[in-house]
Amino acid sequence: MKQKLIQLSQRYATALRTHLKPGARASLQPALELGRQAVALGVETLELARIHERALNTLELTTSKNGFIQRAEIFFTEALTPIVETHRAARQNKTDLHRLKETLGRRTLELAVTNRQLKRGVLRRKRVEAALKKSGVHYTKLLKDSLHLQEGLRQLTHQVLAAQEEERKKISLELQDEVAQTLLGINVRLLSLKQESRINTKGLKLEIASTQRLVAKSASSVRRAAREFRKA
């Protein structure tokens, strides 16, 4: 690295000498190229100023040669331009980097907030899924219980209907027996009336009244049976 700086210093002195020759074309392109080489080597402003100072001493330029001094300063300023631009770019890069860090910080915070919201959303979703699963088990049990109750109700209804039908049959049989007995009694009375009508008129009236009572009793039995059937 030291050897490269020595070579750069020598090239600088040669280019400056050429630039300051009387009648030479005042081209600053060599100075600009030297500045770029200095940037490539990592030379800073102070080091380039020392190289420029050593070149002036080598050329033995004094304050009495103001014209040469002024031209040399212009040469130095041009050679310094790439370093200045590099510093300006570095400052801009630093500014951009700072802005990028701020943006990154904001994005990181936003991402953290989003992650927290996502985690809360996942937890809520899991709770909802668990609740739905629990509700599904609960409703499945309720459905089974309901089907069981419906089956029990169906069987109970069948038993009630069977009991009602059995009761109707029982009432019907009782009514048939009672009516049959009453009709049989009426028939016996009628036969008796037929025989007594030839002998005893008073006795006939009594038999007729008794027979009427049998008929009324039979009618009452029929009405009672009808009411029982309606209740059933």
Residue 77: its pLDDT value, please? Answer: 92
What residue type is 170 in one-letter code? K
SS3 62: coil
Question: Taking Cα atoms as reference points, which of 63, 65, 6 lies closest to residue 37?
Answer: 6
Angle between helical axes of 45-58 and 66-196 (0-180°, round to 10): 170
Can you list the residues of the chain whose pLDDT is less than 50?
Answer: 63-64
Do 178 and 228 meet the contact criterion of CB atoms below 8 Å apart?
no
Q: What is the pLDDT of residues 39-85, one digit of tens each?
A: 998 889 888 899 998 888 887 765 445 567 888 888 899 999 999 98
The contacts of residue 52 (CB under 8 Å, 6+ apart) are 12, 16, 72, 76, 79
Residue corresponding to tokens 């006795």: 203
Residue 65: its pLDDT value, please? Answer: 56
The contacts of residue 18 (CB under 8 Å, 6+ apart) are 24, 30
Do 39 and 82 meet the contact criterion of CB atoms below 8 Å apart?
yes
The contacts of residue 76 (CB under 8 Å, 6+ apart) are 31, 48, 49, 52
Q: Please report, to the nearest 10 degrees, the dihedral formed by the alpha carbons of residues 133, 134, 138, 144 taken in order.
A: 40
Residue 36: its pLDDT value, please? Answer: 92
CA neighbours closer than 13 Å in the CB half-sphere of residue 69: 8
Q: What are phi and psi of 6, to 5 degrees?
A: -65, -45
Residue 63: its pLDDT value, please? Answer: 46
Break the chain into its structural domains and give their ranges. Answer: 2-109, 164-231
